[in-house]
Amino acid sequence: MVIKPGAGILGKIGCGLGCLAAAALLVVIGPGLFFGLMLWGASERTIYSRETSPNGDREARVQFDDCGAPCGWTKIVFVKRAWIPSDTPLLSCRAFLGDGTNRVRVAWSGNSKLIVHHGFSAGEIADVVRSCGDVSIVTQFDPTLVSDEP
């Protein structure tokens, strides 16, 4: 901001406060934004399995996004239209999220029902939805999927 000659004391104070606020925002938000971008850039996605619905219209995938130490072991099940080529979570519906190293297996029961078999206790299930669009989601505990290894 340019202070015009003859601007009053209020103009000078306002300019000083504005510059101070901008500097404070850079100091507070800058490192967090930088750290977040670094985690995102260094993250690695592992797809454990993919299952296509019997009619080929939908795809369910079990994945893990590894962003290093800040993220724990988390298994996620996403459902998307099969014609969408990307595995970007924004283009998919998150059907299940389990916290831990237990395994997950998905199976279709017809074209509109996905069964998520998992080894997670109730306290380790962070999120589950009842449906993803016209696909109903059913979860089922399977003790053979309990694991100490990812």
pLDDT digits (tens, 9 = 90+) for 40-79: 454 677 899 999 999 999 999 999 877 666 666 789 999 9
DSSP per position, 97-133: EEESS--EEEEESSSSEEEEEE---GGGEEEE-SEET
Task: At 113, list the tokens.
Answer: 């029902």
Domain boundaries in the chain?
1-42, 44-145
DSSP per position, 39-51: HHHH-EEEEEEEE
- Order of strands across the sheet with 131-132? 104-108, 113-118, 135-141, 131-132
Q: Please give the pLDDT value at position 69.
A: 61
Query: For the ranges 42-56, 95-109, 114-128, which has the lowest average pLDDT?
Result: 42-56
Alpha-carbon gap, residue 132 to 39, rounded angstroms = 28
What is the DSSP secondary structure assignment for residue 20, as one 8-state letter? H
Q: Please give the pLDDT value at position 90.
A: 81
Q: Please give the pLDDT value at position 64.
A: 86
**89-118 b/e (C-beta count within 10 Å ≥ 16 → b):** eeebbebbbbbbbbbbbbebeeebebebbb
Using pLDDT thresholds of 50, 70 and 90, give the confidence band for residue 103.
very high
Q: Please give the pLDDT value at position 125.
A: 94
Using pLDDT thresholds of 50, 70 and 90, give the confidence band for residue 136.
very high
Q: What is the pLDDT of residues 6-28, one digit of tens each?
A: 556 655 666 666 766 666 666 76
Chain mean pLDDT for the chain: 82
Query: Mean pLDDT, to the nearest integer, of 93-119?
Result: 95
The answer to whether the pTM exceeds 0.75 is no
Amino acid at 130: R
Listed in sequence order, the residues at least 6 apart from 126 whose beta carbon sits closer than 8 Å to its beta carbon are: 74, 97, 98, 99
